[in-house]
Structure 1
C-alpha cells in the first residue's frame, strides 16, 4: 500500500469512528429529548386536568353567607389541597379503619345509571312486600321468625334489578302497644328480605318503609366524601374593641389564606380557622355554627329527596300485612331468640322496653326509685343535645336536684345539678367541635377524651356518652378518629378504675324532613351507628340502643325522641348503674 493510500485509509477510519460516535451521541440526545418531551406533555395534561377539576369544585363549592362568600375545594383525600387532613395512623389503626369501612360498604347502582332518570329510580308506591308463608300451615307461634319479601319497582312499574335501597322494617301491634325492629337483608337484585322475631301473642302487623332509593344513597355517599363543608362554622376573634369573624372547620384549604391551627394537642382532634387579618390566633373567643351550604345537588338529584314521594314512604303489602301469633309451643327451643343472630336488642310490649339478653331492665317510675339508685353517685354526661335530654329529664323527675345557676347558654351548657342530702351530682357537657350550636365561649369547648382523662373513676362514678348527630356532614373517617380517641380514654379510665360504669347512647332515626335532607339523613346516621357499635365492641361498656328503641316504638321518629322514649332510655341507663353490684 502506498503512503497516500495509507493516510487516506487512516482518515476514513477516523471519520467513520467519528460518525459512529456522533450517531451514538445523537441517538442518546434524541432519546433524552423524546423522554423530556413526554414528561413535559404528561405534566401539562396533569396540570390541565387538575385545573379543570379545581375549577369544577370551585364552582360547585361556593358558600354564601351574610358576611362572607368563599369558594371551597373539598376533596378530603387530596393532600395537595389539604396537607393537614388527618393524623398518621398506626398499622393497627389503618387495619381497623379498613375493616370498618368494609363493614359499612353499601351496594352502589351499576355504572352508567347516574345522573339518575327519576322514572328509573325506586318508587315505594309501585313497590310491594309479601309475607312468606310459614312452614306450619300458615300458623305462627311465639318464638318463631317471620320473614317478609320486598320487591322494589321504579316509577314506571318495572322491577329494580340492583340493590342499595335503604329500607326500615317494623313489626307492631297497636292493641298490645308492642313493636320490634326488623333486620333487612339486601339481595342486590331489587329484592329484599325483612326478618322479625315473634315475641308476643295476638296480632302483629308488618310495616316497611323506603327511606332512600339506591340512587339517593349514591348522592349522599358522594356528598359525605367530597363535601365536608356542607355545614360551616365561624369563630370571633377579639382584642379590645376590634373583632373579626373567620370561617372555621375540621379542615380548610390553605390556598385561601393562612390558618390558625386549634388541633387539640392531647387527643389530636383537628380544628382550623382562617387567621384574622389584624389579630393573632390566640384572640379567638367564641365558636358558632355558620350555616348550611347551598346548591349541593343538581335539580335532577333533588327529585330523589322529595318528602312524601321517595323519602321515608311506606311500602304496601301485596295482600295482607297482618298475622296472628299463637302461644309458644310446648317444648319449643326457640322461645328465647338469640338477639345477636337476629340483630335485635329488644322490643316494646305495653309501651315498655324489654331488652333481649344482658341486663334486665327495671322500671324507675318514682322519684324515690331514681334517687335510691343514684345516691352517692357522680354522673358525668358528655355528648350532644340528644343526651342533654337525659339530663333535663332527670331534673324534671327529681325534685330535690338543684340546678346550679352557671349562667351558661341554654342549649350548650355546661350544666350541673346536685342533691347535697343524698350526695348526687349530675353534670352535662357538650362534646368538642364540630357542634352546630349558638355562640359558645371557646373556653367551654372540651373534647370528651380529655374530660375522661380528668376523672378519677370508681364504683360511684357513672359516665354517659352520646356523640353522633353533629358528624353526619363529614367523611366517616373523621367520626372514626373522634371515637378512637374516646375509646382509648375509656380504656384508660377502666384500667385505673374498673368499677366505673360507662354507658353509651347510640344514634336514632329522625323525622322525615330531617331524615330526607343531605345534612342529616338517616342513612348517614345508620352508617355512624354501625361504626360506633363496632369500635366499642369488646370494651366493658353498656349500650342504650336508641336506634332500635325509636324504630320499634309506635311514636313518630324525631331527632329528639319524645319523652316516653327518653324515659325508657334513662331507665335502661339506670338499670346498668344499679345492678346490685354485679357485672353482667
Structure 2
C-alpha cells in the first residue's frame, strides 16, 4: 500500500474511534440522567410501589413531597407520620390488577353473606353482638383467595328508623367477618355492600401516589386589561415546563405554586380556581373495575367482536335501564362493581329480643353511635339533645361567636343555621358557594362566620386575598367560653398522597393546641369525612376509599385532645338516606344538634 492509502485508513479508524467514544459518553450520561431523574421522582412523587408494606421501609421515614418547603419535621413528628402510614396500609392483591381479567376480580353478585347463629340460646338480645360471615367470589363464581376488598356493613330497622354501622374484618383469604352491635328490639335487617374490589383499590392506591396532578388548579393574573391564566398545584408542577411562582404560605410553610405568566409577574395574581380533572389516567382494562352502570353493556360490546357470536342465543338484564338485551352467559358480568349490595345466602333478617340483663349498655369502642327514631345517639359521655325549635338553638348560641372553617360540607352547617334562625342577618358580599360568609343576630349577640380552607380547594373562583389557612385563622382567635370553632377538611385532599394531608392536619392540630392552651374553655369541633356517590370515574378522584383513609389519619391526629369529633362517616353510613358528598338535611340536623349539645353541655337549654 502507498503512504496515502495508510493515511486514509488511519483517518477512518480515528473517526470510528471518536464515534464509539462519543457514543459511550452519551450513553453513560443518559444512564446517569435516568438514575438522577428516577431519584428525583422518588423524592417529588413518593415513587412507591402499590405494595406499601414492601416499599415503605425504604422511603417514608424521611419522606416529604415538598422537601424544599416548610419547616422540617421533628423526630417525634417523623415517627408519628410513620405510624400513621402503617395504620392505613391496605392488603394488596398478590398480582397486579393489570395482569387480571375482569372475570377474576371480585363480583358482588356472586358473593354471599351468612348470619352466624347465636351461640347462647339461638336467640339474639339487645346488648349482644351479631356476627356475619362474607364470602367474596369472582365473576366466574370462584371463591376469592385473598383480601383487600372494601366492604361496608350495617344494621337497619325501617320500622323504627334505626341504623348502626358494623366493623368489617378482613381475613386476607376472601372471607370477611362483620360484627354489629344489637342496640334495639324488633326485626332488624343486615346489609353488606362492596364499595370497591381489591383490584380496584390497587389502582386507586397507585393514582394517589403517582398522579397527584389528576385534579389541577388555575391562577388568574391581571394588570389593567392584560390577563393570563396558568396551571397551579402543590409542589407537583414539572420544573421543565417553565418557571414557577412561589406562593408558599409564610406562616405555615404550606407550599403552592403556579406557572409564571408569560407577560405578567407573580405579583399580579388576583384569583384561584379549580381547573379541572385529567382524563385518560387509567387503562381501558382498569376502567372495567370502576363501573357503576353499564358494565354488562360494555362486556356485550367486547363479546360482539368474537367469531361465531350469536345474539339469538343470549340474554341479559341491565340494572341501570331495567331492559332486557342480548348477552352471552359466560361474559355476563352480573351488574356493577361499585357500591353494590351483597345478597344473603339464606336470610338477612333477625328478631332482636329485650336485653337479658338490666345492666346499662356498654360503649362500643369501634362504633361511635347509632340512629333510633332518626335521632343520632352517640356513644360517649355527651347527652344528645334534639334542638327542634329555633328558640332552643338561639338560647344555646346567645352571646356566642361561631367560626366554621373548611370545605363545602362545613358550609352546610352554616346554611342550616341560617335557615332555622330567622333572626340571623347575613352580611355576605361574596358568592354564596365560596364565601367568606357571615351572619349576625345583634339582639342576642350571635355571630356565625364561615370561611373555606386554603389550597388545595376545588371551589369556583376565589380572590387570592381570601385564600386563608385554618391554622393561621385559629391563631388569630382569642377564644374563650363564648367561642365555638368547627373544622371540616378532607374532600379536597383525596387526590394527594396521605403525607400531604398529615402535614396539613398537623399544622391545624398545633393551632388547636395553642388555642386551647390560651383559652381552655373554647369549644372545638372536628368533623370527619363521609361517603358519597361513586359513579364510574368519580371514584378516581373522590373515592370513598380515599375518604376512609383520610378519616383514619384525622382520628389519630386529634385523639386525646379536648375536642368533639363528629363522626360524619358513621352518621351517613348508618342512615337510610343515599350517600352524598353533601349529606341530606336530616343528617345535617343531627350533626348540628350534636355540636350544640356539646357547646351547651354545661347549661340548661329548652329543647322542646
Deviation at 1:539, TM superposition (A): 0.9
Match among 220, 233, 247 for residue 249 of structure 1:
233
Q: Distance in 1 between matches of 2:224 and 2:242?
A: 24
Deviation at 1:115, TM superposition (A): 3.2
Higher gyration radius (CA): 1
Structure 1 residues 515 and 197, CA, compared in 2 at 3 Å: closer, same or farther? farther
- Structure 2 residue 598 is the aligned partner of structure 1 residue 576: yes
Q: Distance in 2 between matches of 1:81 and 1:519?
A: 19
Deviation at 1:361, TM superposition (A): 0.6
SS of the equivalent of 2:554 reads helix
Deviates more, 1:42-51 or 1:537-546: 42-51
State the Cα deviation string for residues 175-214 of structure 1 (Å, max 9, x = none). 1110000100011110101111100000110000000000
Match of 1:190 in 2: 174
Alignment of 1:84-233 (within 5 A): 84=68, 88-111=72-95, 114-233=98-217
Deviates more, 1:499-508 or 1:246-255: 246-255
State the Cα deviation string for residues 479-512 of structure 1 (Å, max 9, x = none). 1111000000000000000000000111001023
Structure 1 residues 292 and 85, CA, compared in 2 at 3 Å: closer, same or farther? farther
Cα contact 2:111–2:342 (8 A) shared by 1 = yes
Match of 1:75 in 2: 45
Match among 289, 302, 305 for residue 304 of structure 1:
289
Q: Distance in 2 between matches of 1:578 and 1:262?
A: 40
Alignment of 1:553-564 (within 5 A): 553-564=575-586
SS of the equivalent of 2:199 reads helix
Deviation at 1:88, TM superposition (A): 2.7
Structure 1 residues 466 and 268, CA, compared in 2 at 3 Å: closer, same or farther? same
Match of 1:384 in 2: 407
Match among 361, 384, 387 for residue 336 of structure 1:
361
Q: Which runs of 5+ in 1 are unaligned?
A: 1-36, 58-72
Deviation at 1:76, TM superposition (A): 4.4
Match of 1:28 in 2: none
SS of the equivalent of 1:200 reads coil
Cα contact 1:76–1:85 (8 A) shared by 2 = no
Structure 1 residues 52 and 91, CA, compared in 2 at 3 Å: closer, same or farther? closer
Deviates more, 1:513-522 or 1:298-307: 513-522
Q: TM-score normalised to the size of structure 1?
A: 0.86
- Structure 2 residue 548 is the aligned partner of structure 1 residue 526: yes
Q: Distance in 1 between matches of 2:154 and 2:348?
A: 11
Deviation at 1:50, TM superposition (A): 6.9
Deviation at 1:42, TM superposition (A): 7.0
Structure 1 residues 441 and 472, CA, compared in 2 at 3 Å: closer, same or farther? same
Deviation at 1:249, TM superposition (A): 0.3
State the Cα deviation string for residues 201-238 of structure 1 (Å, max 9, x = none). 00110000000000000000000000001100001111
State the Cα deviation string for residues 324-344 of structure 1 (Å, max 9, x = none). 00000135x5x513321xx10
- Structure 2 residue 469 is the aligned partner of structure 1 residue 484: no
Structure 1 residues 570 and 48, CA, compared in 2 at 3 Å: closer, same or farther? closer
Q: Distance in 2 between matches of 1:375 and 1:49?
A: 63
Deviation at 1:451, TM superposition (A): 0.3
SS of the equivalent of 2:539 reads coil
Q: Distance in 2 between matches of 1:316 and 1:433?
A: 42
Alignment of 1:340-355 (within 5 A): 340=365, 343-355=366-378
Alignment of 1:409-558 (within 5 A): 409-513=431-535, 517-558=539-580
SS of the equivalent of 2:99 reads coil
Deviation at 1:556, TM superposition (A): 0.7
Cα contact 1:74–1:227 (8 A) shared by 2 = no
Cα contact 1:81–1:255 (8 A) shared by 2 = no
Match of 1:6 in 2: none
Match of 2:280 in 1: 295
Q: Distance in 2 between matches of 1:39 and 1:146?
A: 69
Cα contact 1:288–1:437 (8 A) shared by 2 = yes
Q: Which runs of 5+ in 2 are unaligned?
A: 1-22, 49-62, 294-335
Q: Distance in 2 between matches of 1:81 and 1:170?
A: 37
Q: TM-score normalised to the size of structure 2?
A: 0.83
- Structure 2 residue 369 is the aligned partner of structure 1 residue 369: no
Structure 1 residues 263 and 514, CA, compared in 2 at 3 Å: closer, same or farther? farther
Structure 1 residues 546 and 83, CA, compared in 2 at 3 Å: closer, same or farther? closer
SS of the equivalent of 1:339 reads coil
Question: How large is the Cα RMSD of the aligned pairs?
Answer: 2.4
SS of the equivalent of 1:157 reads coil
Cα contact 1:74–1:228 (8 A) shared by 2 = no
Cα contact 1:76–1:228 (8 A) shared by 2 = no
Match among 248, 256, 259 for residue 271 of structure 1:
256
